[in-house]
């Protein structure tokens, strides 16, 4: 799939780093306004006179299912991004409008603009997540059950797509490791498998006669990857709730892997003894490996991986940069693959 050129983004529409890191203005603003007010400048971005920093306002045409009341408390006390351990970066953020409008979410279509255009009927309330497999506490848990014990935190991660474009995104969520510990995997649990919602009625890509994916979409991690401190379960972006096109209401973020590993709209987590099948690997094993670590030395058949285009791309700047091994997170994760041939275990 080719990268589409982006229209010019005005300098006034790019979040200044100094403003973003002003946490005094980030959490401010009414949560009800977050679902109905757009500001001047960057669409969907607003600030309040007092509070804890800059908050992205998500217009009602982007967030179509208001969260349950208990979400309000969760998003009123987001912990700032930790500056150490790879949990944040000083690189300029990708503008909010690009984050919510340029997406791969094949359940809603194959073009980058399809997810935002085709998710009008998508609902996130009620929502539940099934916990299955080699675990002491299996069951079906409501989203409130899943989130209740966890304090939300902000993390600013690089996102690298296998298609050779990248973003820098401020996510809101909590450590996957903390969730896993709650359900007490057995000694047989060597892998963690994830499944996206199967709902052809509201996800038109799943009912398309041209689809080549075997639905539901599924992904997986080795247990030590899942337990790594960087691995995040995200429920928000830019300080606000996830829009449908970004994987509402809960998605995975694995920042040292290509973006297709970060599965969206999760409804099932299964612990297994054997390596699970994953959607893109099932479709084209020679192109999409199970590990999918960002590796500038191993090229995809259609895209070189030693360079990337950092969005937004304008007529005056291609934003071309070098790709880093493990997407720049090697210090935190390279030890997971010690002794492995990463050109074969791609």
317: left (phi over 0), alpha (psi -120 to 50) or beta: beta
Band of residue 42 on the pLDDT scale cut at 50, 70, 90: very low
Phi, psi of 330 (to 5 degrees): -60, -35
Distance, first Cα to last Cα, the chain: 20
Determine the Cα–Cα distance for residues 208 and 203; give it in Å rounded to an integer.
9
Band of residue 163 on the pLDDT scale cut at 50, 70, 90: very high
Q: Are strands 266-272 and 128-133 parallel, antiparallel or unpaired?
A: parallel
304 found inside a domain: yes
96 found inside a domain: yes
- Residue 23's beta-bridge partner residues? none
pLDDT of 139 > 90? The answer is yes
pLDDT 10s digits, 43-87:
333 322 222 343 444 444 444 455 556 677 788 889 988 899 999
64 found inside a domain: no
Determine the Cα–Cα distance for residues 197 and 203; give it in Å rounded to an integer.
9
276 found inside a domain: yes
Determine the Cα–Cα distance for residues 283 and 297; give it in Å rounded to an integer.
23
SS3 245: helix
114 found inside a domain: yes
Count: domains in the chain: 1
What's the average model confidence in pLDDT over 89-106?
Answer: 94
82 found inside a domain: yes
Q: Are 238 and 255 in contact (CB under 8 A)?
A: no
Highest mean pLDDT among 23-27, 37-41, 270-274: 270-274
pLDDT 10s digits, 249-292:
999 999 999 999 999 999 999 999 999 999 999 999 999 999 99
pLDDT 10s digits, 183-207:
999 999 999 999 999 999 999 999 9
Band of residue 6 on the pLDDT scale cut at 50, 70, 90: very low
- CA nearest neighbour of 119 among 107, 129, 130: 107
pLDDT 10s digits, 201-219:
999 999 999 999 999 999 9
**Considering the entire predicted model, what is its pTM?**
0.83
pLDDT at 195: 98
- Please report, rounded to a whole number, the percentage of residues in the chain having pLDDT higher than 90: 72
26 found inside a domain: no
Determine the Cα–Cα distance for residues 344 and 126; give it in Å rounded to an integer.
42
Segment holding 242, helix H or strand E: none
Phi, psi of 169 (to 5 degrees): -130, 135
Band of residue 107 on the pLDDT scale cut at 50, 70, 90: very high
Determine the Cα–Cα distance for residues 148 and 142; give it in Å rounded to an integer.
10
Band of residue 152 on the pLDDT scale cut at 50, 70, 90: very high
Phi, psi of 209 (to 5 degrees): -75, -10
Mean pLDDT of the residues in the chain? 83
29 found inside a domain: no
Tokens of 322: 């070098």
pLDDT at 235: 96
Kindly report the CATH number assigned to the domain that includes residue 103. Answer: 3.90.420.10
pLDDT of 337 > 60? The answer is yes
Name the residue range of residue 99's domain: 78-337
């Amino acid at each position: 799939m080719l990268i589409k050129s982006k229209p010019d983004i005005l300098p006034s529409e790019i979040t200044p780093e100094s403003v973003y890191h002003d946490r005094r203005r980030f959490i401010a603003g009414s949560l009800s306004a977050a679902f109905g007010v757009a500001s001047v400048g960057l669409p969907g971005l607003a600030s309040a006179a007092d509070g804890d920093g800059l908050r992205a306002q998500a217009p009602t045409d982007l967030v179509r299912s208001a969260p349950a009341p208990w979400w309000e408390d969760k998003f009123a006390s987001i912990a700032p991004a930790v500056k150490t351990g790879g949990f944040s970066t000083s690189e300029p953020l990708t503008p909010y409008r690009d984050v919510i409008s340029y997406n791969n979410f094949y359940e809603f279509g194959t073009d980058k603009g399809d997810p935002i255009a085709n998710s009008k009927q998508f609902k996130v309330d009620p929502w539940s997540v099934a916990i299955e497999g080699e675990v002491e506490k299996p069951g079906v848990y409501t989203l409130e059950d899943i989130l209740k014990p966890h304090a939300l935190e902000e993390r600013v991660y690089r996102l690298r797509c296998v298609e050779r474009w990248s973003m820098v995104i401020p996510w809101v969520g909590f450590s996957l490791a903390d969730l896993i510990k709650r359900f007490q995997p057995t000694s047989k649990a060597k892998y963690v498998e994830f499944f996206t919602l199967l709902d052809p009625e509201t996800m038109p890509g799943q009912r398309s006669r041209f689809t080549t994916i075997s639905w539901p979409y599924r992904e997986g991690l080795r247990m030590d990857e899942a337990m790594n401190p960087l691995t995040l379960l995200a429920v928000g972006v830019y300080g606000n709730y996830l829009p449908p096109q970004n994987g509402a209401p809960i998605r995975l973020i694995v920042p040292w892997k290509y973006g297709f590993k970060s599965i969206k709209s999760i409804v099932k987590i299964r612990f297994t003894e054997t390596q699970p099948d994953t959607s893109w690997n099932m479709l084209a094993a020679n192109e999409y490996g199970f590990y999918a670590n960002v590796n500038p030395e191993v090229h995809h058949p259609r895209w070189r991986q030693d360079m990337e285009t950092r969005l937004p791309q304008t007529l005056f700047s291609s934003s071309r940069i070098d790709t880093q091994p493990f997407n720049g997170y090697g210090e935190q994760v390279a030890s997971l693959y010690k002794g492995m041939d990463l050109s074969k275990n791609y």
